[in-house]
Amino acid sequence: MQSLVNTVNTAFYNLGFFAKTLKGVGRFIRHSQASFKILVMQTLFTFVHAMGIVTLLAVAIGAAVNIVGTAALAQFSQEQLIYSILITMILRELGPLLIAFIVIARSATAIATEVAGMVISHEVEAYISVGVDPIEHLAVPRFLGVTASVFLLNIYFAVFGLAGSFVIAQFFATVPIGYYFTNILQNLKIQDLLILFIKSITCGAIISMVAVIQGFSVERATTEVPVAGLKAVSSAFALCIVVNVFLSALYYLVMV
């Protein structure tokens, strides 16, 4: 019974923290010049520094889907379906989940341990003592930076995944670039872009909020700092998987 009460209290606390973060976004945009540097640095670390590994994964997965898919479809003389499969895997299903995993591994741990270290070193108390809202100063720029970066990384992944698939296609059959991308555009639907946007924003919000909340959850001991990082990773992984499965199911139930 006590564990159930604690779970409910934690859920309400997390919802309240998220609501206060959303409320602080407006104030941050209007007059939080001091925290703008945090937003820029967070975007730089989460988006720009991750472009290398994302490029490698996108090209490799686009190539793999093309090779395996074309070989399988050729047995049934349905090679034209490869374009629909590429959009499904790169834009809708595999791409958003892989990007979430990359950002969790790189940024969730960094944010959680950084914020936890600030709590342990009493920096957060110092902000409060001089009238600075720690959520607006610490949580909001990280929330905006990670959420925007996840969306941008998904677009980047989609572009390079489809480009990698095109390059590989040239080794097996000369496919004119106009023919290839015309077929991609013909199979691309507004619903595909919409679900990509929803998954990107949702996963970005989850990753940033989980990391910041875990960082703020520490109390006194420095040994709590790495624990906060581990909890942020495990919780963000689980939530992103559940959300992606739910949104995919919703897509096939409502949008198809």
So where are the chain's domains? 32-255
Arithmetic mean of pLDDT, 175-199:
87
Q: What's the first-to-final CA gap in the chain, in angstroms?
A: 43
| C-alpha–C-alpha distance, residues 91 and 242, integer Å | 18
Q: What is the pLDDT of residue 19?
A: 87
**pLDDT score for 5:** 62
5: CB partners within 8 A, 6+ apart: none
Q: Amino acid identity, residue 74?
A: A
- pLDDT bin (cut points 50, 70, 90) of residue 162 is confident
For 49-53, 210-214, 249-253, which range has the lowest pLDDT when averaged over its residues?
A: 249-253
Contact 97, 240 (CB under 8 A): yes
Residue type present at position 88: T
pLDDT of residue 168: 76
Q: Which amino acid type is present at position 44?
A: L
Average predicted confidence (pLDDT) for the chain: 87
pLDDT of residue 220: 78
As a whole number, mean pLDDT of residues 162-181 equals: 77
Do 98 and 153 touch, CB atoms closer than 8 A?
no
Decide if 162 contacts 63 (C-beta within 8 A): no
Burial class (CB in 10 A: 0-12, 13-18, 19+), 52: exposed
pLDDT mean over 171-177: 72
Helix 140-172 to helix 177-187 angle, to the nearest 10 degrees?
130
Beta-carbon-side half-sphere exposure of residue 84 (alpha carbons within 13 Å):
5
pTM of the model: 0.90
Predicted pLDDT of residue 255: 67
* Mean pLDDT, residues 245-256: 85
pLDDT tens for each residue of 6-35: 677 777 888 888 888 888 888 777 766 667
Q: Which amino acid is at 209?
A: M
